[in-house]
Chain A
């Protein structure tokens, strides 16, 4: 990918910079513009409302209008706040969520960085967000912010453990941490996907693995949902008790940055779920480019499949948000420590035995 860009721009350093900026400008920003509107539309139609209708056709430009409004908002930093940390927090939060995109394989030709520790790296940098949240919440000099940040930190770090254990289960089967290799292993048809035990390969083992892979997927999905603070795990920003959680005091563009990184995170965790369980960028049934004999079409199709699967899981997250009520703090911790972690470890051991058969 970087070779192609070097050929186009003639300079390697420019190619690296363009390559690193591509996911942000070509995918994340349009995605966020679309997803914020999508969320409002999804919620509206689920509650038999229409949602935003005024700006553009069926409110299609609503998010652009919101962005312009946020751009013009006064930036208020209370004198009591810790100014340095307060200003630093949006950087850290967005940096943590964008850094994860470096290791996500969008297509066989577009991989930001083919680091061997792929998924492990993503787990590591996504916990960077916790630092930003805690920093913003503490520096705001606001009781709601501090409480929201505390809860958020406790929740994100707690749910990181079931996530990591499920990832371990997958790594045991695939024998690699590199997300691109994991995607390549699930090539050809959808029965090679890891959710259908594709990593095991042979007949009976694959069938035995299916239920445990489904359990692993459910655990991973629940815990990633909690890691991005989505309902039913949105206690950190529970509007009815904590105003807006850790970003209560933020206004204008700084608030927009938190918003942006929340939606970027939603896509990032969906991308992880897709890559680990649903074949990554692989098509479920062969490529048009192969049957037509056009080799350059294959990466484009892969990109399409990856984004389509990712957006589907983002939609599921929105769907859950408007379906399930919020959990209580004690229920949240109980779900994580007393259910998800023991189940995940049990699942890990069973998958370990099955893969040895």
Chain B
């Protein structure tokens, strides 16, 4: 007799086995004719320049950090939520206080601007009024009268 988590484990094994079998089945059917061109990294048809494993935007790291804090908070709140009704108003105050403390931290992050993603800066050139002395066009009386 398996425990309930044992059944979950069988689900995971089935999923892994399914992927393995599908990939293995394709192994017999598919061709294998690699060429130099096929094996280059795809960069819209150009020759790839440099490695992609470079420094990435620090924003992702900040998001991950804030996520970590909130996720831990949510995990801590789950047991509270399950027994919420047994504790009545006292339970509510405790939970609300916990959330309040957390949201102070969030307000701090918000104020500091860590929740703002970099927006594309649109560079609008200032309106420069250039006054040019434009010489009055020489108007040939006969031509202009014709066009009018």
Contacts and interface: CB of A to CB of B under 8 A. Distances in A.
Interface in B71-107: 71, 74, 77-78, 81-85, 88-89, 92, 95-96, 99, 103, 106
B41 A249 contact: yes
B5 A115 contact: yes
A291 to B, nearest CB: 34
A356 B92 contact: yes
B26 A75 contact: yes
A112 B56 CA distance: 41
A4 interface: no
Given A150-B56, A175-B82, A80 B41 contact: yes
Nearest to B25: A71
Chain A interface mostly: helix
A333 B41 contact: no
A158 B67 CA distance: 6
B22 A257 contact: yes
B40 A115 contact: no
A146 B40 CA distance: 16
Contact of B14 (A21, A153, A253): A21
A161 B67 contact: yes
Given A103-B8, A115-B8, A146-B52, A154 B14 contact: no
A71 B74 contact: no
B119 A330 contact: yes
Interface residues of B, number: 70
A334 B115 CA distance: 7
B66 to A, nearest CB: 8
A20 B95 contact: no
Contacts of A142: 41-43, 52
Contacts of B124: none
Contact of B44 (A70, A103, A243): A243
Contacts of B22: 253, 256-257
Contacts of B110: 337-338
B4 A161 contact: no
A164 B74 contact: yes
B104 to A, nearest CB: 13
Contact of B82 (A71, A158, A177): A177
Contact of A71 (B30, B57, B85): B30
Given A142-B41, A252-B30, A99 B15 contact: yes
Contacts of B57: 150
Contacts of A120: 78
A143 B74 contact: no
A158 B6 CA distance: 30
B128 to A, nearest CB: 30
A159 to B, nearest CB: 10
A350 B51 CA distance: 51
A140 B64 CA distance: 22
Given A157-B64, A254-B23, A165 B15 contact: no
Contacts of B118: 330
A101 to B, nearest CB: 7
A168 B77 contact: yes
B138 to A, nearest CB: 52
A267 to B, nearest CB: 15
Interface string A118-153: 001100000000000000001011111110001001
A349 B33 CA distance: 61
Interface in B11-53: 11-16, 18-20, 22-23, 25-27, 29-34, 38-44, 51-53
A161 B70 contact: yes
B14 A24 contact: yes
25 contacts: A2-B7, A20-B10, A24-B15, A72-B29, A72-B31, A74-B30, A75-B26, A75-B27, A79-B39, A94-B15, A113-B4, A121-B8, A142-B42, A157-B63, A158-B63, A160-B67, A168-B77, A171-B82, A253-B26, A332-B117, A337-B115, A341-B70, A349-B99, A352-B84, A353-B92
Kindly list the 4 A-B residue pairs having the minimum CB-CB distance in the complex, ordered from nearest.
Answer: A330-B117, A98-B15, A113-B7, A253-B26
